[in-house]
Structure 1
Amino acid sequence: MEQIDMVDFFISYTNADRAWAEWIAWELEEKGYTTVLQAWDFRPGSNFVLEMQKATENASRTIAVLSPDYLNAVYTKPEWAAAFVQDPTGENGTLLHVCVRPCELRGMLTSIIHIKLTGLDEAEAKSALLDGVERGRIKPSTKPGFPGSAQRQITEQPRFPGALPSIWNIPHQRNPNFTGRVQLMSDMQKALASGPTALTQVIHGLGGVGKTQLALEYAYRNMDKYNIIWWIRSEDSATLASDYAILAQELDLPDKGAADQNLITEAVKRCLEQQQNWLLVFDNADNPARINEYIPRGGLGHVLVTSRNPNWRGTASPLSIKELEREESVDFLVKRTGKIDTEAADALADALGDLPLALEQAGAYIEAAGISLSSYLDLFNTHRTKLLDHSYPPTDPRCKISTTWNISIDEVRKTCQAGVDLLNLCAFLAPDDIYEELIRDGAKHLPDSLSAAVTDPLIFTDAVKSLRRYSLVEFSGSAISVHRMVQAVVRDQLTTDRERWAEAAVRLVDDAFPFDSGDVQNWSLCSRLLPHALAAAEYAEASDVAASATARLSNRTGVYLYKRGWFAEAKETLERAHGIGKRVLGSEHPDTLSSMNNLALTLSDQGDLDGARQIQEEELEVRRRVLGSEHPSTLTSMNNLALTLYGQGDLDGARQIQEEVLEICRRVLGSEHPDTLTSMNNLALTLYGQGDLDGARQIQEEVLEVRRRVLGSEHPDTLTSMNNLATTLYGQGDLDGARQIQEEVLEIRRQILGEEHPDTSVSALNLLTTLVDIDDLIRARTVLENDLIWLLDRDPASLGADQRRIREMVSQITGQAE
């Protein structure tokens, strides 16, 4: 008879109280008890009902984690009822209630032992819990064994509810002068608390009205309610994806290092959908469609979006934010400046249109200059009269900002020209995380006045201080942030110097961006520089300056985006590089040819084979003419074109090119050179496609022998060779030989790449097909459930081409075709 391992406690809870349940289980196990907890012990793919029944039967006692959600849940009653039947009087303490939120007990529950944790700090709650379980308990005759096993390893103590978030990246300090917005804050709180699942709230309004400040204040006020608060810069899709990917690292997800961004995005969403008490803030998100793919569809968390776009209905709950109420503006100016002159504050607020950004700049100037509110109003009116002739309409918010900016920048110019120059440079970069090292290391590309300042720490510090004094920038200690509207006003105000600063910015970033941006070792730096690379290249192209640097930077940026799987963004960036290169550098320049090659690869991965082929044929013609037929770059171009022809079904054309490439590689590079092996592998695939399975097998076995010997059995190239050979064996009818190789490849790819990597999915499908064909349906079902069924839970748009195809096949196999 099978021996049953009894445990001390089965912990019954709802998902809303998972944090409490995990904390309770942890404390009990630290004390030496054993527990069963759904979050820790019920494995994916197991039968929930059977697991629950086994847990209640094998536990000496049951703890019900009580809250309003628990009492209203449909499936919790059977969990505690089993324990109640065993001990209806409560004499043995078989059923314990741990109350974690105020709730009203009814019926049979009122007679059960009650441990109250509400309103206690962590130490008090721990004491109450352990004292409570000791009363009336049946102590085991021996100390319970350690509850851990190979299937369950909880290595980090759950955070006690009420402590501050362990994961958060708020990029700005809290505004000590935040004023008003009482109704808006209340409406936002109510909206986010109105449902049991993940909710999205959009704050929309014109630039400068305080959208970001409201989101910041919400995050700071409510930080004790969340376990995760993550801020995502969302003005462009590449930066959005990059910030989202960093969250995967903070969560320490298995797919955090995946090259395919779709894998990372889905991994983060899946993680959040299974958790509670998280807040995502998408700042400056003007494209609802772009944001949708990043919003979790479940879980007990919240999403906050700031946007200038009001059209969010159908996607999220929109909340319009306008200028401050006059009373709020007056309160802000009095609080910000310390000047208790409400009449003058009212007049100044009226002149500034109650615009928060303008009010902040005015308040900063008044404080720094030590002048009165009335004196600043006189300055404002004087400058506004000068600006109205050639700047913005009086009703345009930029009119207010440009006026306050001119007043402040005139004052900075009197004492620190380096501060003015620094702000001019920052206007042509991304608004956030303009880090000091970037500026200092690129000093040689800056105008002399600023170059001297940034290489002298004291002068650079003075320049930053001069801008902070008037609220023109924020400084975190190592990086500068500038409001987007301030950047726009600075660029608009520059005339003859606009080209000079646009060129300085793009050369600065071009110098810093890694040369080998496709190398994963450089991705951390690429990620940080990405927003600046995109912004600087855009402004340089618009100003028609530094064409060579702009094309070079755009090409390297495009390669990084391509390698991360952001194909749409890569295409746009590489088209810029190619267009500038062709126009300015010429069609035969190496940088132009490089961008052509990278653009063609991107188009191919997007499925545009005709577009890829057209570019590759043009590129190959130039390389043959300029470099010769045996140059490595020419051979690479030939290989790429052959793969495109293969994808289009032109196998004869592909084979002709591949045989030519292989002959040159063997003669020039040697039979074991990586490029030679790649050429052999490509030719074997074409032979297979043409039906020459014997020829394909002979080449594949030769390639596999060399790769195993030189690279090792777990190298990706070796696994590719094994996979290809297995496919050929399958085609020849050697199903057992194919199965053995496929099982080995799948196991290695699971361990190295993870269960949801596209290559792992391909291996799983190959093995599934073989197992079905040899009638091993039990093992086929195991592969289907463990390695492929998860694809049905994914949005097809989030998957790559291979996994979309596999998903369709799995859907047909399981009878869930859409």
Structure 2
Amino acid sequence: ASDGYKRQGPPWMVPYPRNPYFTGRESILATLYQQLWDSQTAAISQTQAISGLGGIGKTQTAVEYAYRYRDDYRYVFWVGADTELELTTSYVAIAQILNLPLKDAENQDDTVQSVRLWLGREADWLLVFDNADRPEILPPFLPPETNGHILVTSRAQDFQDLGIVQPIAMEMLTAEDAIAFLLHRTGRMAPAGADDMRPMQGIEPSPELQAATDLAAELGYLPLALEQAAAYIVTNRVPFAAYLTSYRKQRLKRLEKAKPKLGQYPDSIATTWALNLKEVQKTAPAAAALLNYCAFLHPDAIPFTLFTQGAAELGEPLATALADATDDPLDLYDLLNPLGSYSLVRVEPESQSLSLHRLVQEVIRAELGNEGCQDWVEPLFRAMATLLPEKCKDPEYQDWPTLAQLLNHVQELATHCQQRNIASTVAADVLHSMGTYLLVRGQYSLAEPLLQKVMELRRSLLGDKHEDIADSLDSLGQLEDYQGRYGEAEPLYQDALAMRKRLLGDEHPKVAASLNNLAFLYCSQGRYGEAEPLHQNALAMQRRLLGDEHPDVAASLNNLAMLYYSQGRYGEAEPLHQSALAMWRRLLGEEHPDVALSLNNLAALYRDQGRYGEAEPLYQEALAMWKRLLGEEHPDVAISLNNLAVLYRDQDRYEEAEPYLSEALRLWRQSLGEDHPNVGRVTENLGILYAAQRRTEEARSLYQQALAILEPKLGAEHPWTVKCRESLAKLDEAE
């Protein structure tokens, strides 16, 4: 050769076989190829890095790239980059395979330099630095000129020492790819091609396919975890369902029963991150403490504010490390840096949050042990309380964004609270705040376990004579009330009222609130005579205690107006509705759920009086506002849909009315269940619409369904039941 070197054929130094079960990562491979081969970019782009958590498949993706595009390169070199010694050893091996003159130099630095110079002169080579978790040690090994391509795999996230500002961040497998991998790897589906490994759209999955789907989700779509599970399943020939059942009981202990067999993973899950975690603990104890706390939260979108505002509650070393973090936001970024350097967390500046993999959480909790875990959960409740409304009182509308951000994390803490028998009044307050938030958001199935846990905690800690017990009784009463379980709600409301009177006296805002709740329950049951004095007493008490301008006074005006409306006392109801609407607008602004409620109620009054032109814009405004503020699926949205549909029906606008009624029925069934009185009411309304269209048999069926709901729930004499029975009778008479 003209350069004096002896050729022995193009070197191929990839130490691993191609993984026949490699799945997914197509977009990463395509992006990597495009960026490395883009001739329009600077030479700096000829160096690229794949960054990600240990076990995410960086090495095997690099292996796949090398095999897939081997024909595009004359030389492919693989360099272990864990340490400077390993780098040097790999370069000596390259020198020997290239038969460079200094391949056996006594000073190995000379050999390294000879390889660097060779790389600077030659072209069309691929150089892979694998496991370069300390990118800062690579520059002395880089060629002076880059005429080939350099690919780095690393847990690190900062590659500025290599001139890379934006590495390719490797995420978990997609759900589809993770399932396909499990099926292919275990031989449960023919590997003819990616499309053949995926279940066909629209086909009900078999129990085994569903178990594989659930297992992939439980393992967080992490390739190493999937490989370990698959290795055990293949070795022991067990069904996915059996493995899934065992994993849900034993968690990490079950996963560690098998080591990875394929995919170039040197260690199992338990040991893959062990050295990283120990290094963080040794060099950055505050970062390690933060990571430990994260192990007991939901893995996604952990808000920065939990640590910046709650640092004092989390003890040392975080209290000192983040003492000034509310004033200097970079303090937290400094703290997170050691965790990011191993990809143990993912920082999300846009949402001011961080995330980590659920299996990292599993490993941390296993290291801490059951007794140690309790020490981390209780401070988290205290830190959480610093972000919630003052003293964790019942949340107002302005508190909703904060509560929505914390919902998943409070639910996770509630699970640990249950598992570890953690009992504290702060925990009860946090759970109460979130439970009452879920109530107003119409998420009753999520609210129920939280509110029941609060009652259990408060009774065990406070006894039966405490104001907080009355608050829990009241909240549980609302839970039953909103779901139409009036018989269960009434004694809870009555007990809350009696306890509040004993503890707080007859004149207190919470006593007025209890009167209102009990009165509204009676009104829902058609017990108007019992409801009216309670509503009037509540209104008078609130005016005395809170003044004439207060949101609770507006609520009482609205509730009394609704009572009069239900009795057909429109002249008394209208000024109360108008006063409530005006007050809510003054105090809460134009955009508030209570304003939408008031618009809806005033519109209902106008509709019943035949004032359709005045009712329609109010209904439409209420519907649009509720959708904006509460979301499309909230049960209150169904109120507007039902009412607007009835307005259209009354005007013979049947085609406009029917889809609104159908959607209201769907929403209420979804959120309230099949036997809620509201479901019965909207079913009857749909029957009235069909009757008006002479769809007699459909109407009769709906009336019968409505009666089957209303009569057991409300009784035979409730106005709604009576009206539905009369509608059915008229239909029969017409025949």
The match for 1:566 is 443
The match for 2:639 is 759
Q: Deviations over 1:411-450 (max 9, x none)?
A: 6555454455344323322233334442232211123234
Distance 1:521 1:215, change over 3 A: farther
Tell me, yes or no, if the aligned pair for 2:622 and 2:640 is still in contact at 8 Å: yes
What is the alpha-carbon distance in structure 2 between the residues aligned to residue 554 and residue 588 of structure 1?
20
Tell me, yes or no, if the aligned pair for 1:742 and 1:763 is still in contact at 8 Å: no
Question: What amino acid maps onto 1:658 in structure 2?
Answer: H
What is the alpha-carbon distance in structure 2 between the residues aligned to residue 460 and residue 542 of structure 1?
31
The match for 2:460 is 583
Aligned pair 1:439/2:314, yes or no? no
Aligned pair 1:476/2:334, yes or no? no
The match for 1:606 is 483
Tell me, yes or no, if the aligned pair for 2:558 and 2:598 is still in contact at 8 Å: no
Tell me, yes or no, if the aligned pair for 1:428 and 1:539 is still in contact at 8 Å: yes
What is the alpha-carbon distance in structure 2 between the residues aligned to residue 786 and residue 363 of structure 1?
55
Q: From 549, 562, 570, give the equivalent of 1:697.
A: 570
The match for 2:622 is 749
The match for 2:382 is 507
Q: Secondary structure at the match of 2:378?
A: helix
Question: What amino acid maps onto 1:563 in structure 2?
Answer: V
Where do 1:764-803 residues align within 5 Å?
Answer: 764-768=644-648, 770-771=650-651, 777=652, 779=653, 781-785=654-658, 787-791=660-664, 796-798=669-671, 801=676
The match for 2:237 is none
What is the alpha-carbon distance in structure 2 between the residues aligned to residue 792 and residue 470 of structure 1?
51
Tell me, yes or no, if the aligned pair for 2:551 and 2:583 is still in contact at 8 Å: no
The match for 1:359 is 268
Once the two structures are TM-superposed, the CA of residue 610 in structure 1 deviates from its matched residue by 2.3
Question: What amino acid maps onto 1:697 in structure 2?
Answer: Y
Question: What amino acid maps onto 2:441 in structure 1?
Answer: R
What is the alpha-carbon distance in structure 1 between the residues aligned to residue 672 and residue 194 of structure 2?
34
What is the alpha-carbon distance in structure 1 between the residues aligned to residue 499 and residue 509 of structure 2?
14
Distance 1:750 1:434, change over 3 A: closer
Tell me, yes or no, if the aligned pair for 2:648 and 2:657 is still in contact at 8 Å: yes
The match for 2:171 is 173
Aligned pair 1:213/2:219, yes or no? no
Mean Cα deviation higher: 569-578 or 443-452: 443-452
Q: Could you tell me the TM-score, scaled by structure 2's length?
A: 0.53
What is the alpha-carbon distance in structure 2 between the residues aligned to residue 204 and residue 611 of structure 1?
39
Tell me, yes or no, if the aligned pair for 2:523 and 2:563 is still in contact at 8 Å: yes
Where do 1:256-271 residues align within 5 Å?
Answer: none
Once the two structures are TM-superposed, the CA of residue 462 in structure 1 deviates from its matched residue by 8.1
What is the alpha-carbon distance in structure 1 between the residues aligned to residue 288 and residue 559 of structure 2?
57
Q: Deviations over 1:234-272 (max 9, x none)?
A: xxxxxxxxxxxxxxxxxxxxxxxxxxxxxxxxxxxxxxx
Q: CA RMSD in A?
A: 4.8
Q: Could you tell me the TM-score, scaled by structure 1's length?
A: 0.48
Q: Deviations over 1:456-505 (max 9, x none)?
A: 8999778756667777x333365241434743762574365443222122
The match for 2:121 is none
What is the alpha-carbon distance in structure 2 between the residues aligned to residue 215 and residue 750 of structure 1?
49
Once the two structures are TM-superposed, the CA of residue 517 in structure 1 deviates from its matched residue by 6.9
Once the two structures are TM-superposed, the CA of residue 682 in structure 1 deviates from its matched residue by 3.1
The match for 1:183 is 184
Tell me, yes or no, if the aligned pair for 1:745 and 1:763 is still in contact at 8 Å: no
Question: What amino acid maps onto 2:413 in structure 1?
Answer: A
Once the two structures are TM-superposed, the CA of residue 665 in structure 1 deviates from its matched residue by 4.5
Once the two structures are TM-superposed, the CA of residue 331 in structure 1 deviates from its matched residue by 4.7
Distance 1:455 1:192, change over 3 A: farther
What is the alpha-carbon distance in structure 2 between the residues aligned to residue 553 and residue 191 of structure 1?
46
Where do 1:366-765 residues align within 5 Å?
Answer: 413-418=281-286, 420-455=288-323, 473-476=344-347, 479-484=354-359, 486-487=361-362, 490=365, 493-494=368-369, 496-515=371-390, 518-540=395-417, 542-545=419-422, 547-665=424-542, 675-687=552-564, 693=568, 696-707=569-580, 710=583, 715-716=595-596, 718-726=598-606, 730=608, 736-737=610-611, 739-753=612-626, 757-765=637-645
Q: Secondary structure at the match of 2:379?
A: helix
Q: Deviations over 1:62-85 (max 9, x none)?
A: xxxxxxxxxxxxxxxxxxxxxxxx
What is the alpha-carbon distance in structure 1 between the residues aligned to residue 378 and residue 255 of structure 2?
36
What is the alpha-carbon distance in structure 2 between the residues aligned to residue 325 and residue 310 of structure 1?
11
Q: Secondary structure at the match of 2:296?
A: coil
Tell me, yes or no, if the aligned pair for 1:438 and 1:508 is still in contact at 8 Å: yes
Q: Deviations over 1:310-365 (max 9, x none)?
A: 99xxxxxxxxxx98999x94553xx456xxxxxxxxxxxxxxxxxxxx62554556
Once the two structures are TM-superposed, the CA of residue 770 in structure 1 deviates from its matched residue by 3.5
Q: Deviations over 1:135-173 (max 9, x none)?
A: xxxxxxxxxxxxxxxxxxxxxxxxxxxxxxxxxxx9972
Distance 1:795 1:766, change over 3 A: closer
Question: What amino acid maps onto 2:639 in structure 1?
Answer: D
What is the alpha-carbon distance in structure 2 between the residues aligned to residue 671 and residue 413 of structure 1?
58
Q: Secondary structure at the match of 2:299?
A: coil
Tell me, yes or no, if the aligned pair for 2:641 and 2:664 is still in contact at 8 Å: no
Mean Cα deviation higher: 556-565 or 678-687: 678-687
Q: Secondary structure at the match of 1:476?
A: strand
Distance 1:552 1:614, change over 3 A: same
Once the two structures are TM-superposed, the CA of residue 722 in structure 1 deviates from its matched residue by 1.9
Q: Deviations over 1:245-300 (max 9, x none)?
A: xxxxxxxxxxxxxxxxxxxxxxxxxxxxxxxxxxxxxxxxxxxxxxxxxxxxxxxx
What is the alpha-carbon distance in structure 2 between the residues aligned to residue 561 and residue 489 of structure 1?
30
What is the alpha-carbon distance in structure 2 between the residues aligned to residue 437 and residue 549 of structure 1?
18
Once the two structures are TM-superposed, the CA of residue 724 in structure 1 deviates from its matched residue by 4.8
What is the alpha-carbon distance in structure 2 between the residues aligned to residue 209 and residue 680 of structure 1?
50
In the alignment, structure 2 segments of 5+ residues that lack a partner are: 1-167, 227-240, 248-253, 703-735
Question: What amino acid maps onto 1:539 in structure 2?
Answer: H
Distance 1:175 1:360, change over 3 A: farther
What is the alpha-carbon distance in structure 1 between the residues aligned to residue 638 and residue 169 of structure 2?
34
What is the alpha-carbon distance in structure 2 between the residues aligned to residue 668 and residue 680 of structure 1?
15
Tell me, yes or no, if the aligned pair for 2:298 and 2:408 is still in contact at 8 Å: yes
What is the alpha-carbon distance in structure 1 between the residues aligned to residue 331 and residue 582 of structure 2?
59
Distance 1:531 1:491, change over 3 A: farther
Distance 1:414 1:717, change over 3 A: closer
Q: Secondary structure at the match of 2:200?
A: coil
Mean Cα deviation higher: 462-471 or 412-421: 462-471
What is the alpha-carbon distance in structure 2 between the residues aligned to residue 645 and residue 807 of structure 1?
21
Tell me, yes or no, if the aligned pair for 1:758 and 1:803 is still in contact at 8 Å: no
Distance 1:484 1:599, change over 3 A: farther
Question: What amino acid maps onto 2:375 in structure 1?
Answer: R
The match for 2:63 is none
In the alignment, structure 1 segments of 5+ residues that lack a partner are: 1-169, 218-304, 312-321, 338-357, 369-407, 772-776
Tell me, yes or no, if the aligned pair for 2:256 and 2:270 is still in contact at 8 Å: no
Question: What amino acid maps onto 2:426 in structure 1?
Answer: A
What is the alpha-carbon distance in structure 2 between the residues aligned to residue 411 and residue 666 of structure 1?
63
Q: Deviations over 1:639-658 (max 9, x none)?
A: 11111223334333222322
Question: What amino acid maps onto 2:660 in structure 1?
Answer: D
Once the two structures are TM-superposed, the CA of residue 688 in structure 1 deviates from its matched residue by 5.6
Question: What amino acid maps onto 1:359 in structure 2?
Answer: S
Question: What amino acid maps onto 2:384 in structure 1?
Answer: V
Tell me, yes or no, if the aligned pair for 2:308 and 2:332 is still in contact at 8 Å: no
What is the alpha-carbon distance in structure 2 between the residues aligned to residue 795 and residue 700 of structure 1?
27
Distance 1:325 1:559, change over 3 A: closer
Tell me, yes or no, if the aligned pair for 2:286 and 2:317 is still in contact at 8 Å: yes
Once the two structures are TM-superposed, the CA of residue 803 in structure 1 deviates from its matched residue by 5.9
Count of aligned residue pairs for this structure pair: 469
Mean Cα deviation higher: 566-575 or 540-549: 540-549
